[in-house]
Structure 1
Amino acid sequence: MVSPRTGFAKHLPDELLLEILEHFQRWETLERQITLARFSAVNRQWYDVAIRPLYESPHLYGSAYELFVRTICPSVLAHIKPTALSGLVKTLDLSHIVHQGSKSTTARLLGRTKSSLQIFIAPQASFAINCWASLSKCARLRVLDLSLVSECISFQSLNQTIRQLGYLQELYLPRCSSRYEGPALSINIRWPPRLQHLSLSGSVSGKFLWEMLRQPDNFPPTFSSLSILHSPGLDHQGIKPLLCNLAESLTVVELRDLPAVKQGRFNGVLDWLPHLTSLTIALDYIDTRFGHMPRDFSPVRWREAKPLHSLTLVASGRSGDPSISFSITDLYSLIDERFLGRLRYLNIAQSTEWENENDGELGALEALLLEDLDKENWQQRRWHYEDAAITGTSLDYERWIRETAMGWKMRPRFRLLRNR
């Protein structure tokens, strides 16, 4: 309906408003939240349309956190003044909360949002033992991120909690120290039945690591991704047995920020994990012998190429013997000989300082991956191109990559990571 005085519509169909909200999803979290708040303040109709996305994944920081707590938890007593808005929260990201919150407030937030919560990122200082009970009741939780928690946690409490989270897919352990409690000599670790990714950090050595090594069959069939980082007590002698025990299931692995691991100790990771498709590793742990490529390997043996299709190289700040450090030339050789003939995505972190070396070498590496290797695989219909619907096309490789939706989607990528 259009007002005869102003010439502006007083009412817009809900479908049009929802279309407008779709554009907000591409924005940064803070900018999207501010815009949604203003959008919902226009009138009652706009409020009804925008309130759900506004509370699904709120950006909580500073005074905004205090207002959010007052809205979701208006009273310490759970049965007083319940609000329907708590059932809209799917992501509770408290990573920006340091001094504003308290441990009891975090527990109350978990208790109020338990019916809808799917992603929880714990705060650094306000997560403690009184949060476990509330957390265990979040039956729909898919991602549990405890990586920022600074208080010592109990593995027994963690184990009892995750047993009750039947939908949990990703679990990130804290970097802080952890402990075993009670007289029990061991615990029966039961991972959630749908767990896909586990991130180990902090003091995962000793007894907890032994329990994982002793009970590899307790990992569910869905488990395929493992990160080990920020663990000062772990060396290659503790990590290698764990990787080998899970070799048949692991396809994605991340190894970085492990100060006890020495240069060259992870050279054989591609042999330990025969199904590995994605690897993130620090240059500090490998050297010129990385991959153990046979001396007589050549492009004619391309069928024996490792299954790795994504490689991310970072640096942890440790210096080894520079004469045997893994270099651009070593990686070029692995790709050029087709030992890594299935590689499609290559990420080089700024911390490696490779871009400060000979620009020609890095450019040659990029050209080898993006042009020579991928073009050859496309022409020969190898690997990921084997089942692609490109038979009969009159386009050459360059035009297929640029002009078709499938080509643009399947193209290889080379990136320099500025924030790593």
Structure 2
Amino acid sequence: MANKSRPKKAKAPYRKYVGGIGYVTTAYGKFQTSDDEYEDEGNKYYHSDQEETYIDGTEDRPSSNSSDSEKGLDPKFLYVCKEWYIMYLPILYSSPYLNSKNFNKFMVTMDINKKTPALGDKSIKLNELVLKLDLSTIVQSGRNSFVSKLLRRCNKSLTEFIAPQTSFGYAPLISLKSCHNLQRLDLSLVSETVDLDKLFQAIIGFEHLKELFFPRCSINCDLILLSQNNGNIWPRNVKYLKLSGSVTNDFIMNCDFPRSLQKLELAYCPLLNELSIYKILSQIGDNLETLIFQYPMPSLQANSLDFMFKYTGSRLKTVQIVVDYCSKWLFQDEDTIIPCLETIYLQCSGSLGQAFKIHPDDLTVAIMENRIPCLKNLYVSCKLGWDMNSDDVEDLLNVLEDQGGHMYITY
């Protein structure tokens, strides 16, 4: 006989995944929420705190390009049939999703002696299927020995490599030399010091390299390497270069940048002054389509970038400027015309004295005098201190709209 005085057993809420919303708390298989819910013609609507979302009652998890692609492809499809296995395996291993939990297992799988079952006419090693290695989520597991071993195993097919957030020392740099098919090399997340001499020696002969991102911290490059190669130490076909770290003025003055560069980004180069900036722009400014300056650049003065447009050519379409290093004269030079410039990002650190360095009228006059005839997108940081309800901003909006442009506020 049941004891009626015994308290009823509490049941934990059930978490159910709903398409378009995520996990919803339910109990006994029914929706239970703190918000309002109602039914209309058999369809249920759920009111959340942010927006109203329609639920069609199905329990199947929808395919999401953003979330599913980030977590990698599902290996369960390998079990469908042999034909599907043959087609799906190269797709699965071309860009594996790696993290600290599955990194060691992936290393074991990439053993050079392990081969796939027959793919078509012959067997193929799994490491030859890897095209992209993104180790940006690897922190503690990304030791130099592991990274070096992984580069050696995937060197034949690897086209894109993003280094982990720890170190990239001597052993990985040696292994990097054999990755001749690399098209993108990203070392921007590396937290420990990288030897630039060894880096240049590793990549100097990379014919296919298109994008190169420097590490945040590096050892100064020896000028002896420059003299031995007559200043030509860059891969000849690089199109996107992100300079950062301990690149010195002497190094910039003695090297020749590749004429193939179309996009240049400078992010925290504490040793570079304005002479080095103009030296770079004098070499490659005619070919640049995108020019980006990131804060901070400690060696630049309050007006160091005022004459940057004199060194850029007619191909420049996008520019990001930090107002900490320029003044109103950047747009008030009557002899400077930027014919193809379509997008301007005005950034600001928010430090004292930086607000109002560039006034809306500076851009309004430049547009009216047809010195920026193709400007379509203007992104202005809220830290500039512009009054968006003022007549000056209204005038700028009017001249932008006359040539089909718009202004956006960034935070």
Residues 1:203 and 2:246 are matched in the alignment: yes
- What is aligned with 1:106? 147
Superposed, which structure 2 residues align to 1:215-230 within 5 Å? 215-216=256-257, 219=258, 221-230=259-268
C-alpha contact (below 8 Å) 1:271/1:291 kept by paired residues: no
Contact 2:72 2:97 in 1 (8 A): no
Query: Which position in structure 2 is the counterpart of 1:268?
Result: 307
1:281 aligns with 2:321: yes
Instruction: Pick one of 156, 159, 163 that aligns with 1:118.
Output: 159
Matches within 5 A, 1:1-400: 27-28=65-66, 30-32=67-69, 34=71, 36-37=73-74, 40-41=77-78, 43-44=80-81, 45-72=83-110, 74=111, 78=112, 80-82=113-115, 84-180=125-221, 186-188=227-229, 189-212=232-255, 215-216=256-257, 219=258, 221-257=259-295, 258-275=297-314, 276-294=316-334, 306-320=339-353, 322=355, 325-349=357-381, 352=384, 357-358=388-389, 365-366=396-397, 368-369=399-400, 371-374=401-404
CA deviations on 1:348-384 (whole Å, 9 max, x unpaired) are: 3455565x75487657645543x3113xxxxxxxxxx
TM-score by length of 1: 0.71
Q: Which has the higher strand share?
A: 2
Q: Distance in 2 between matches of 1:184 and 1:193?
A: 16
Tell me by how many angstroms 1:41 deviates: 4.9
Distance between the aligned counterparts of 2:109 and 2:391, measured in 1? Answer: 57
Assess if the C-alpha contact under 8 Å between 2:226 and 2:233 holds in 1: no
Q: 1:382 — aligned with what? A: none
Q: Secondary structure at the match of 2:65?
A: coil
1:144 aligned counterpart, secondary structure: strand
Shift of 1:326: 0.8
Preserved contact between residue 95 and residue 124 of structure 1 (Cα < 8 Å):
yes
- Over the matched positions of the two proteins, sequence identity in percent amounts to 29
Report how many aligned residue pairs link the two structures: 337
- The whole-number CA distance in structure 1 between the counterparts of 2:212 and 2:153 is 22
* Amino acid of the structure 2 residue aligned with 1:265: S
Distance 1:352 1:58 in 2: 42
User: Larger Cα Rg: Structure 1 or Structure 2?
Assistant: 2
Tell me if structure 2 keeps the 8 A contact 1:137–1:164.
Answer: no
Please tell me whether the aligned partners of residues 225 and 251 of structure 1 are also in contact (alpha carbons under 8 angstroms). yes
- Asked if 2 retains the 8 angstrom alpha-carbon contact of 1:57 and 1:92, the reply is yes
Partners of 2:363 and 2:161 lie apart in 1 by 38
Structure 2 match to 1:20: none
Q: Which residue of 1 aligns with 2:30?
A: none
Q: 1:53 to 1:33 in 2, by over 3 A?
A: farther
Hey, what's the Cα distance between the residues in 1 that align with 2:228 and 2:275? 22
Question: In the TM superposition, what is the alpha-carbon distance from 1:232 to its structure 2 partner?
Answer: 1.5
Partner amino acid, structure 2, of 1:326: I
Q: Judge conservation of contact 1:40–1:48 (CA < 8 Å) in 2.
A: no
The 1:167–1:349 alpha-carbon spacing in structure 2 relative to 1, beyond 3 Å, is farther
User: Segments of 4+ in structure 1 off by > 6 A?
Assistant: 182-185
Query: For residues 51 and 367 of structure 1, do their structure 2 counterparts lie closer, same or farther at Cα, with a shift above 3 Å needed?
Result: farther
RMSD: 3.1
Contact residue 36 and residue 50 of structure 1 kept, 8 A: no
Cα distance change on mapping 1:182 and 1:226 into 2, 3 Å: closer
Query: Does the 8 Å CA contact 1:266/1:285 hold for their aligned counterparts?
Result: yes
SS of structure 2 residue aligned to 1:36: coil
Cα distance between partner residues in 1 of 2:101 and 2:184: 26
Contact 1:39 1:50 in 2 (8 A): no
Q: Which amino acid aligns with 2:269?
A: S
CA distance in 2, matches of 1:104, 1:171: 23
Amino acid at match of 2:361: T
For 2:74, what is the secondary structure of its paired residue?
Answer: helix
CA contact (8 A) 2:100 2:139 kept: no
TM (normalized to structure 2)?
A: 0.72
Label 1:201 to 1:318 Cα distance change in 2 as closer, same or farther (>3 A): farther
Distance 2:292 2:91 in 1: 33
- Residue identity matched to 1:125: T
- How far apart, CA to CA, are the structure 2 residues paired with 1:105 and 1:366? 54
Determine the C-alpha separation between the residues in 2 that align with 1:417 and 1:49: 45
SS of the aligned residue for 1:253 comes to strand
1:313 aligned partner, one-letter code: L
Name the aligned partner's letter for residue 194 of structure 1: N
Residue type of the partner of 1:341?
A: P
In 1, Cα distance between the equivalents of 2:225 and 2:129? 41
